Structure formats: C-alpha cells, structure tokens
Structure 1
Amino acid sequence: MNLFSDIRDLVLDRLAGLAESGALPGGLDLANVAVEPPRDPAHGDMATNAAMVLAKPAGMKPRDIAEALAAALGDDDRIATAEVAGPGFLNLRLAQGVWAGLVEGVLADGEAYGRSTMGQGETVNVEYVSANPTGPLHVGHTRGAVFGDALASLLDHAGYAVTREYYINDGGAQVDVLARSAYERYREACGQAPEIAEGLYPGEYLIPVGEALKETYGESLLDKGEAEWLADVRDFATDKMMEMIRADLAALGVSMDVYFSEKSLYGTGRIEAAIDDLDAKGLIYRGTLEPPKGKLPEDWEPREQTLFRSTDYGDDVDRPIRKSDESWTYFAPDIAYHYDKVSRGFDQLIDVFGADHGGYVKRMKAAVAALSDQKVPLDIKLTQLVRLYKNGEPFKMSKRAGNFVTLRDVVDQVGPDVTRFVMLTRKNDAPLDFDFDKVLEQSKDNPVFYVQYAHARVHSVLRKAAEQGVALTDRPKLEDEAELAVAKKLAEWPRLVEIAARGHEPHRIAFYLYDLASEFHTLWNKGNENTALRFLQEGDPVASAEKIALPRAVGVVISAGLGILGVTPVEEMR
C-alpha cells in the first residue's frame, strides 16, 4: 500500500483522459509528474507538479493545465478539494475517510507496509568496513559499519537482492608489520622483554595473540630468523585479528555474507586477468605522468610507468598500476577485486569508505566503468569523522588499542542500539558529534530515546487494553487534527523508503522516525488535556478499540524503521 503512489496513478489516469478528450496534446512524457507532500502542510495533503512539467511540451499555460486537471480529479471520492496555486501548482486535500483507510491498510499489511518492489530483484553488492586486519575496529569503522549495514537493509526493504561484503586487506606490507608486532608479544609471552620499535603496533590487543602463538609453537620460533617465521606468524596473527573483527561486528549487530581476501588475488593470475581485460580495451600504456599539482619541476622526477587510461572515464589523471620495480601498485589489486565483483554479475556496486578516501573515488569509478563497459554503476559513499565527547571533554584514547577509540569502547559505553541510531542521525558525508552523556539522556533532544519512547508508549497502551479486555479493530475513528497528522505521517513511509533507497541515504529513515514519534507524542500529550483523545476510553471498549488502531499502526512503522537501522524496538522503558 502506497497512498502517494495511488494518488499519482490517479493523476496520470486523469491526464490520459484529458489527452484523449483533446484538452491536452497526446504523447506527452509523464515520467516527471510527481505527487508529494506540500512544503507547507497548510496548503493541503498532497501536491502535484503536473501542470508545471507539462506546460512547455504541451505548449500551454501551466495554470490552464492545472485547472483542467483539478476539474478532472473532482469525480474521485478520495479527493475532497483540488486547488490551483501560484503559476500552476495543484494542491490536493483528501477525504477524511482516506486516512482511516490508510491506518486500516497499515494494520492489514503489518511488517510488509512500506516494503517496495522498486528494486525489482536487482543484485547489489555493498562493501563496507573493510578495515586492515591489524587491530580492533575504531570509531570511524563503527560509523562505516552502521551506515553500510543500514544501507544494505534499506535496499533489501526496497526490493533489491543485497550482498554484504568485507574486503580483507591482507595482501600489503601492513600485515608484515602486524606479524613483527605479534612476534614481539610472542617473545613477551616467552618471558622476554618485547621490543616495540617505532612503526610497530603497540596496542595491548596483541598480547593474547602472542600468548596464542606460544601455545601453538612453544618457544620454537625464538631461535629462528624472521625469514623463517614471518609467513606463519603473519597468517596466524591475521586470522586472530579477523576473529576479533568479526566479534566486534557481531557486538554491533553486523553480519557479513562474504569475506573476500586481498591475498587471494596475488599469485593466482587474477590481477593479471583484470589488467589484461583493460589492456584489450586499449586502456593500458607506458607513459610519463605530469608533476602533481603544487610540485615544482625540479622536485619532480619523471619516469616511464605502466598506466591505466582512467581519464577516458572521468578521472583527473591516468593512474599507475605498476611501480618502477614492476611490482603492482596498491591500485592494481583493487582493480582486480572490483573486476571479480563485476564478474560475479552484480547489477550495482556500492563501496563505503572513510573520509580519507576522497581522492580514491574517481579512479575506482573509472576502473569499474571500464571493466563493465559502463554497464555496472559504482556508488562510493564516504563517511566523515566522528568526534567523541564525555563529560564535556573529548573522549580519551583507548589504552588497549594504543592510539584510538575502539568500536568496543563505544558499544560497551552505550550499547549497540544507541550506537547505531546515533551514527545515523547525520548524513554520511557530514561530521558527527557523539556525546556519551547526551545519547543516554531521556529527553526530546535525544532522538534515540524519543523514538524508542514512542514505541514503548504504544505497547503500554496495548498492555492496558489487553488487561481491560478490549477487542481490537483495524478501522480507526479519526476526528482531531492531531490524529490526522499522525495518519498523514504514516502515509509518507512507503514513499520515504523508496526515496532513501534511491539516494542511498539511510539517515532519512532516522529523521522520519523522529518526525513520526514527534507527531505521536503530540497526540499523546493532547490526550492528557482532552479526554476524548485518549486511546483508552473508560467504560467504552468499542471506542477504545477504534482509538488504539492508530497507535498500533505507529508501532508497526516504528518497528519496521528501527529494523532497517538495525535497532531493537523496546516495548518498555526502564
């Protein structure tokens, strides 16, 4: 059920009728005709831009089209009034019975209300987190994990077939540094003083890894040179780090479908295959790049390199894929990884990266466009920094991590539900302040509490109704403007899901839930003053049943929205 879609269908039907009667030219493109909430609710329940977008192709004045459309809509019993405004906007007011029918439809659909078929089963790969397996996840990874997971759930809700994927960066020099760091903790476990040299990872999280190495190898590695133990310790430590990362993600409620190892690309011909594909398309060549911007010529040492012609696909410069020693640049395995994703047949790719990957966007989009012959779109979402505060001060670093605040630090302080919701209270590309005190406040200023409190209030009403033996009905009786305001907000949910999914913007779900909760709390508070608006009407079980249909519908939508965000809806506040 999608009321906005239903009314748009009505508008399109009436436009077709006007064309058939000769009041409008035939063959007009109606794709851009929209029906949406008016900017000012005082103007009506819905508005359509039909006259404005059709005026030029029809060769008519917008107001003339609007007036003809208003008259044509008048015979539908869902339309109470259709009023032309300004140069040709058309504001619609719906009959009061429509809103009661809307609530009834929400209750009939249950959790299916708001689910969309927009995606048509298209396959989407959402890659997120993808942290180096060299330590625990930090707060920046937390935001990326929450955003990526909520986006995947949102797309699923909108009818896409989603794969959640983590790219394990275990093929670069950083895992050798991990191995050397773990070896020092192994030496410590064997009773020797660790030598945490500059450049190694100092965090205490490697102490259990060192102890596990001793349990597995005894002291047999102490007398061996690095060349003998490096590979084994690297694999051992990487596996332990990934166990910790999986546990951290589980604590946040995140579960991946695929863990893809960068190391699997090396020595298997997979990087070569991806580069050969680009080479066959004439996109690989030997050349010399211009000096980077801001460099003086004398600071630049020109050298011939193997380059990918990424400027053919919108990049600023062509990109090296081999270093001067003919080893692969870091970009080459990334190309191969995305070649693998394209080869797996996904219709869309989404990468969620941290703010420091801004310079990476154009080159990766160019690579995917080239590899897929521009058939597979890649959207790269950057998550901006999170600033942590506690007691009015910046939150201190984690001793366990060595130099940053971990995901576990945050979840242990406030829990996964609060963490997830707060991380989605800003658009992904805007910085976010996370105040440990404020996110636990029980006030309207705390969106997590405000939304959860609305859901708990719904269930409080239902418990009391059950105690009073009230028999439920799905058909409400809506009379007051505050009741209608809640119903009208419920009507926006299916439309909002599609807009958020289309824009890859899960934060819109959090914003919507706050607005819905606000309308519901307003109605609740009016009931404190006006007994006729209370959900439970003393001594009148029939009226009570009609009244509680609306909060029941609110509970359905809040539960669905929180589900997309990965937040557990509470039934009782403690």
Structure 2
Amino acid sequence: MSEHHTLYAAFAERIDAVLSALELEGALPPGTSRANVSVEPPRDPSHGDLATNAAMVLAKPAATNPRSLAEKIVEHLSRDPLIESAQIAGPGFINLRLARSTWTDELAAIAALGGDYGKSAMGEGRRVNIEYVSANPTGPMHMGHCRGAVVGDALASLLEFAGHAVTREYYVNDAGGQVDTLARSVHLRYREALGEDVGAIPDGFYPGAYLVPVGEAAAQEFGDRYRSAPEAEWLPVFRAFAVERMMAIIRADLQLLGIAHDVFSSEAALQAAGKPEAAEAWLRAHDLVYDGVLEAPKGKEPPDDWEATELPLFRSTRFGDDQDRPIRKSDGKWTYFGADLAYHMQKAESADELIDIWGADHAGTVKRIKAAVAALSEGQGEPIPFDVKLVQMVQLLRNGEPAKMSKRSGNFVTIADMVDEVGKDVVRFSMLTRKPEAQMDFDFAKVVEESKDNPVFYVQYAHARIRSILRKGADENFAPSAEHLGLLGEDDLALVKRAAQFPREVEMAARTREPHRIAFYLADLAAELHAFWNLGNADQQKRFIVAQDANLSGARLFLAAQIGQVIRNGLALLGVEAVEEL
C-alpha cells in the first residue's frame, strides 16, 4: 500500500525536529515528554493553516513562560521554506501559514494515490472483531436492524482503511425459545403447503407471510413425513431447517445493503462445544462465579410465584453492576448473559480487540458483559479492549407522518422495502448523517429530496457536478493538468485545504470508532465545492473552465478531479457509490 503521511503528521515531525534542536541548545530539558503536543487546524481558518500548543504544554518543564518559549520555537520555524509565517497568538499558541507549494503538492499526492489517498497504517495490523446486526433468525431484516448494520459495516471499512485487520461477525441466536417458536410456525406453514386448512395463525406463533415459502420448501424437502409425526420427532429437524432458510433470507436482505459478514457464529454450536461450561469453570476457579440466591424482585412484597433459588452468579457488582447476575436459569439452561459471556471468550481467542454494535435497548447489559470480558481476557494474558456502541432506533416517516408497515412481514417495514423504494446508497448514507446514539427520523420523502438540506443529495450532487465539469472540459478540448497549479488563487486553495483534511479525518474517525465523522466531513467538502462553483456565476474568472485561459482551466480541472477523488474515497468508506450524473 502506498503510504502518504497526513499533512498534519508531516508538520508535527517538523515541529518535533525544532523541539529536539531546542533541547540541544539547552532551551528545553533533555527527554521532556512531548506526548501532549498537538498540531491541528485552528478553529478559525482565518488564523492560519495549522496551530500548535507546543509552547503551552512545554513551558512548565522548561521553567519559562509560554510566550518566551513560543518565540524560540517561532524563530526556528520561520527558517522552514514550507512555512510562510509563524505567529504567536494569545497566551502562547503558534499559528502557521504554509507555503502555497504545500497545497499544490497535496493535490499532486491525491492524484498519485487515487483510491489510496487517506489510507493509514495507524492500525498496525491489529485484529479487530466487529460484531453487528446479529438479528434473531426469526424473520426478514427490518428497519430496527438497519442502522446498526450500516454503522457496523462502515466502521469495519473505516478500520480496514486505517490499517486494522478486521473480522465482520454475525452471532446467530439459534439456541433460545424463539427458535422453537419459529420451528413450530414453519411446521404449521408446512402442513398448510401440504393442503391442510390451518385456519388463523394461533397466538404465540410468527404470523408473517414470509414463512409461507419456507413452509413450501419444507414440503418439497420432507414430503408428508412429518405431517402428523409427534413434535419431539420433527422439532429438531424443523429448527435446523428453519434457521438455515431464515439466515439465507437475512443474508440476501443484507446483500441489498451491500453488507457481507466474514463469520457467522452459532449460539447452538457454541453450547454444543461446551464453551459456556469452560467459561464457568474458569470464572469459578478465579472466584468470579459463586452459587448464591438472587434478591427478591424490587417491591414491597415478592410476587407469589417467586421463590429463592440457588443459582450460579457472576460477581458483576465488583465491576459496578447493581447486583450479581445469574449465568444459568433454575432449569440449568444458560441465561442469555451466560451464553453471551462464553461467546465473547471465544471471540477474544482470535482478536486483539472486540467491538459490538447493539441496539440502545441493550444499554443495561453493557457494564456486566464488559466486566465479564475483562475478567475472562485477563485470564488469557492482557485484558482485551472491548467496546460496545449503542445505536438508537430510527423513526420511519412519510412526509412527516409515521410510515405504513410492510405487507410481507405483517408488522414492520423491511430493509428490502426500503432499499426497493429509495436505493441502497440513500439508505446507507442517511443512516450515517447522525451520531448513532442520537435519535433519528428517516423520512422517505426527505431522503430523496433534491435540496441542500439533504446531505445525501448534496454530496452526490457535488460529485456529479465535478464529473459534468470534466466532461464539459473534454468537449471543449481542455484537459486536467498539474503543470500550472501556481495559477490557482486563494479560493481554489481553500478547497484544497479542505480536501487535505481527509487523511486526518480518517484517522480521527478510526481512533474514535465514529464512521459518521466521514459523512459530516463529506457534507462540508461538498458545501465548499458548491460555494466555489457559485463564485463562477458572478465572476467568469472564477469558473472551472475559463475559455480564454487554457493553463488556468487545466489547473482548475485538475483541482476538480482531485476533489472528486476525495469524495469517492469518503463515500467508499460509507459503502456508497458516487454518481456520475443526477
């Protein structure tokens, strides 16, 4: 992979070299920690291109005041040919303006790196397991799963681009009672497919029409062998058959969103392999599980059916939980928490870090599962970093009114319905236009609106506009050229400066595990491109194609092509294809 230092990293190295020189001169004590020295764009672009807090954080160890240390740093920096000016601001911040060549070189770097521009090696090949979606295999994918699916998938792409080795995992909950309900519902549809009149679907069964073809497939597969067989005989067969069929439907639904997982882990297989028992044995040996009685449920009197039962309890209070949690139920079966614990232990065996994307309704379990994973992974050496990202529900609207449900599923809007109506790219981009922990409205009318209030359209329009400029240039015999980039003015360079933030945005988004930052960045870049375009309406000299100036037109077309490249790179991380025209 071609490696390109971010501009900020390159100038951080130059500032670091100045600090080393100051150590040699005796102005800084040798070996002073520079961990808190930052180099970033100033909040207000009118202050310059870069700002550093070096003098502020190093003045104390240098036993001097920030301004006088800043003066020494500035004296060195102003000798650097790539730094046009270095000024001290306020208590001792240093603002730098960079030479024009820095920005034109960055444009050339974008052209040279193409799809790799913004790629980073910061992950150093660390193995990150990201588990997302993990919907129960009892029905087609619905809107409730969509946001977590997109956030998880975009995070996986982002971390890969930033140099991590990523595994995309889906945990199939195929061991609980809901899978027996699914098997019974499919058996009913199977009897129906064999010509029986099954009447209304009984309460407690899955009523959706999506099970009709599954029942028909079962009739083809098994004939009438299980039509009147006792449940004990057909239940395990139908359970496996139904899960396999439902997972095929779920995979096809995810495919519509451009999502494919590397690993599907089965809860039933995990239990068959004795993983929960192994986890329990380890936790008992380390005094993290003990046999105890849960407190009665909160309230004045315990309910009549409540009785004190001794259960194996995980010491989650040690880790900030409000009570210890059972890992088995009174019938000896694993609780969801007990099974989940063993599953995370299994994942930790082949990863350096775990990330789970969960619905916000699971917020209550975060502390205890994190505690359990910390305890278990400590037993395997280093405690393994484990992060849970909570994703809020999405409210579906149509022109501001709640959206109608789907015919296929009976009681919810499926992902297939959504993609069918507005397209994969609109669904994916929309899901990343808010932080995942913020509530979100998805209005079918708004997300396809052609207005600047709709970031999905606004970013795509920027790319389409660039492609149209390049086509028009070709029609008029102007080609993008890096030969006369010196002709670009301040407004042109402002666009380059925004594009040059992309590698840094990638690293920040990867570090904070926040893929929505890329969507926000693209909206800003698109806004600057449209603003620049509008300058050309008032002033012909500001147009991308200046008919009487082939050199300037070539430089501007080169600029346009590179902004387009950065938009494509950003959209690719979100799993969105850039459009050629609108």
TM-score (norm 1): 0.96
Q: Does 1:52 align with 2:56?
A: yes
Distance 2:199 2:174 in 1: 24
Q: Which residue of 1 aligns with 2:95?
A: 91
| Residue 229 (structure 2) aligned to one of 224, 249, 256 | 224
- Aligned partner of 2:102: which letter? V
Letter in 2 for 1:184: L
Q: 2:546 aligns with which of 526, 537, 544?
A: 537
Task: Name the CA shift for 1:351/1:154 in 2 (closer, same or farther; >3 Å).
Answer: same
2:468 aligns with: 460
Aligned to 1:268: 273
Whether 1:447 and 2:455 are equivalent positions in the alignment is yes
Question: What is the match of residue 343 of structure 1?
Answer: 349
Aligned residue in 2 for 1:151: 155
Residue range with higher mean Cα deviation, 438-447 or 59-68 = 59-68
The equivalent residue for 1:200 is: 205
- Between 1:475-484 and 1:120-129, the stretch displaced more is 475-484
Measured against aligned partners, the alpha-carbon deviations of 1:7-37 in whole angstroms (never above 9, x if no partner) come to 1111111111112111122221111111111
Q: Which residue of 2 aligns with 1:74?
A: 78
Determine whether 1:234 maps to 2:239. Answer: yes
CA offset at residue 314 of structure 1? Answer: 4.2
In structure 1, what is the equivalent of residue 383 of structure 2? 375
1:286 aligns with 2:295: no
Once residues 44 and 105 of structure 1 are traced to their aligned partners in structure 2, the CA distance between those partners, rounded to angstroms, is 22
State how far apart, in whole Å, the 2-side matches of 1:291 and 1:35 are: 56
Q: How far did 1:187 drift?
A: 2.2
Does the 8 Å CA contact 2:183/2:239 hold for their aligned counterparts? yes
Q: Report the CA distance between 1:499 and its aligned residue.
A: 0.4
RMSD over aligned Cα atoms: 1.6
Q: What letter is aligned with 2:74?
A: A
Task: Give the Cα separation in 2 of the matches to 1:567 and 1:295.
Answer: 51
Do structure 1's residue 421 and structure 2's residue 439 form an aligned pair?
no
1:327 aligns with 2:333: yes
Q: By how many angstroms is 1:175 displaced?
A: 0.4
Q: Does 1:512 align with 2:521?
A: yes
3-state DSSP of counterpart to 1:456: helix
The amino acid across from 1:462 in the alignment is L
Cα 1:252/1:478, change in 2 over 3 Å: farther
AA in 2 matched with 1:397: M
Task: Mark the CA change 1:3 to 1:239 in structure 2 (over 3 Å): closer, same or farther.
Answer: same
> Displacement of 1:387 after TM fit?
0.7
Aligned residue type for 1:529: A
| Aligned counterpart, 1:312 | 318
* C-alpha distance in 2 between matches for 1:152 and 1:369: 23
Stretch moving more, 12-21 or 150-159: 12-21
CA distance in 2, matches of 1:420, 1:176: 33
SS at match of 1:133: coil
Spell out, residue by residue over 1:94-151, the C-alpha distance to the aligned partner (whole angstroms, 9 max, x if none). Answer: 1222211211121122111110000001110110000000001111211111000000
TM-superposed CA distance for 1:547, in Å, is 1.4
Asked if 2 retains the 8 angstrom alpha-carbon contact of 1:387 and 1:394, the reply is: yes
Asked whether the equivalents of residues 185 and 194 of structure 1 are also in contact (C-alpha less than 8 Å), the reply is no
**Aligned residue number for residue 296 of structure 1:** 300
**Aligned: 1:431 with 2:436:** no
What CA deviation, in whole Å up to 9, does each residue of 1:192-220 have, x standing for no partner? 12442222111111111111111222233
Alpha-carbon offset, residue 63 of structure 1: 1.9
Q: Check conservation: 1:116, 1:498, Cα contact below 8 A.
A: yes
Is the deviation greater in 523-532 or in 513-522?
Answer: 523-532
1:571 aligns with 2:576: no
Of residues 517-526 and 195-204 in structure 1, the stretch that sits farther from structure 2 once superposed is 195-204
The answer (yes or no) to whether the contact 1:187–1:194 under 8 Å persists in 2 is: no
Inter-partner Cα distance in structure 2 for 1:298 and 1:148: 41
Matched, 1:5 2:9: yes
Return the offset for 1:318.
Answer: 2.2
Contact 2:291–2:311 (CA<8 Å) still a contact in 1? yes
Does the CA-based 8 Å contact 2:487-2:552 persist in structure 1?
A: no
Unaligned runs of 5+ in 2: none
Please tell me whether the aligned partners of residues 100 and 478 of structure 1 are also in contact (alpha carbons under 8 angstroms). no
Equivalent residue for 2:501, pick from 485, 489, 492: 492
1:369 Cα deviation (Å)? Answer: 0.7
Which residue identity is paired with 2:491?
A: A
Shift of 1:222: 2.1
SS at match of 1:230: helix
SS at match of 1:488: helix
Aligned counterpart for 2:19 among listed residues 15, 23, 38 = 15
Report the 3-state secondary structure (helix = DSSP H, G, I; strand = E; otherwise coil) of the residue aligned with 1:83. strand
Q: CA deviation at 1:291?
A: 4.6
The alignment-based identity, stated in percent, is 56
Q: Is the 8 A contact 1:164 1:257 kept in 2?
A: yes
Contact between 2:296 and 2:302, CA under 8 Å: does it hold in 1? no
Amino acid paired to 1:549: F
The amino acid that maps onto 2:251 is R
Shift of 1:262: 0.8
